[in-house]
Amino acid sequence: GGLWVLRMRSPAAGVPVKNLCLRELASGVSSPGSTSPRALNIFDRDLKRKQKNWAARQPEAMKFDYLKEEVGSRIADRVYDIARNFSLALDVGCGRGYIAQHLNKETVGKFFQVDIAENALKNVLEMEIPTVSILADEEFLPFRENTFDLVVSSLSLHWVNDLPRALEQIHYVLKPDGVFIGAMFGGDTLYELRCSLQLAETEREGGFSPHVSPFTAVNDLGHLLGRAGFNTLTVDTDEIQVNYPGMFELMEDLQGMGESNCAWNRKGLLHRDTMLAAAAVYGEMYKNEDGSVPATYQVYYMIGWKYHDSQARPAERGSATVSFGELGKINNLMSQGKKSQ
């Protein structure tokens, strides 16, 4: 499909709420101007858009797609695990369409793709299902309540400033009995790189500042999904290890993926000797037998459903026909039965 451009930017702090009524027409979720006390402004979203645009413009963009391809296919597998047809689906932070390319017409009728980087949307991968690409910020979804049967998101939500609000919006745009299937980087991602940079910088410059973005912890994720209104939750974690010739090749690939740090408190360029020291530390601490160095990407997968009356409910309290005390007797009887056979 063609590229839809919605002239909506995330507002700067201090923009009066009355100027933001456009957002309120599309959604009942609080307007972007009303930042909640829990919202942290960790990431420079404009810089992230520029990084993603730069990455999508590279002549060999496919060279850096391996991680997003892999996780996109794993999300698609989880969609296929749910044996139903989704007439309308949404991908939040779609990039070049890493999930849609793995789906077929029998599973999804029409697919909306949202991303902040127009270059990614212009260079989408080939896919079988009809798609509509929309340039919009993943933090402010421009859709009405109860619109989509399925929402997916792959490796995008770790860059939003207000994850609770982003999850609430996803829940809002889902139809009742709709499902959200997402993946984001977890807390142990790139621990080898983080450790090497910190050790080298502490040694060379007498202290360190963060060079790898902060990530959510897995035990927080289930809580956030529940608070956003999702039920029947599944959260699991997976580690993907990729081997690189050295630290500099890893950092080049992160830039090529559009995954460079965009935290406001990131430090400027490190001194050359600190970088060389970090690369040496990386090699000494983590080197594989063949001389390459590993980088670990921890991925959290999450599935959450929007409540509908047809969903099975837990039994009411006091409706049990067997007490916990009797369960012990049943176990004893069963074990005695086995012995007598």
Domain with residue 117: its CATH number is 3.40.50.150
What residue type is assigned to position 265 of the chain?
Answer: N
Q: Say if 280 falls within a structural domain.
A: no
Q: Say if 316 falls within a structural domain.
A: no
Q: Say if 223 falls within a structural domain.
A: yes
Total domain count for the chain? 1
Distance CA 282, CA 296 (A): 13
> At a CB cut-off of 8 Å and minimum separation 6, what does 198 contact?
208
Q: Say if 139 falls within a structural domain.
A: yes
Give average pLDDT by consecutive 10-residue segment, the chain, 341 residues. Answer: 34 29 31 44 85 89 90 96 94 94 94 93 88 90 95 93 91 96 92 90 65 64 91 92 94 90 67 88 94 95 90 58 58 62 59
Distance CA 258, CA 256 (A): 5
Contact between 292 and 245 under an 8 Å Cβ cutoff? The reply is: yes
Distance CA 17, CA 272 (A): 46
Question: What is the end-to-end Cα distance of the chain in Å, rounded?
Answer: 67
Q: Say if 169 falls within a structural domain.
A: yes
Determine the 3-state secondary structure of 125 from DSSP.
Answer: coil
Q: Say if 89 falls within a structural domain.
A: yes
pLDDT in the model for residue 12: 32
Which ranges of the chain does DSSP label H, i.e. alpha helix?
21-26, 45-57, 66-81, 118-122, 163-173, 191-205, 218-227, 247-257, 272-286, 324-340
Contact between 300 and 224 under an 8 Å Cβ cutoff? The reply is: no
Instruction: Give 289: exposed, middle or buried? Use CB within 10 Å, 0-12, 13-18, 19+.
Output: exposed
Q: Say if 40 falls within a structural domain.
A: no
Contact between 141 and 25 under an 8 Å Cβ cutoff? The reply is: no
In terms of residue numbers, what domain contains 183? Answer: 45-188+215-243+298-309
pLDDT in the model for residue 173: 96
Q: Say if 178 falls within a structural domain.
A: yes
- pTM reported for the whole predicted model: 0.76
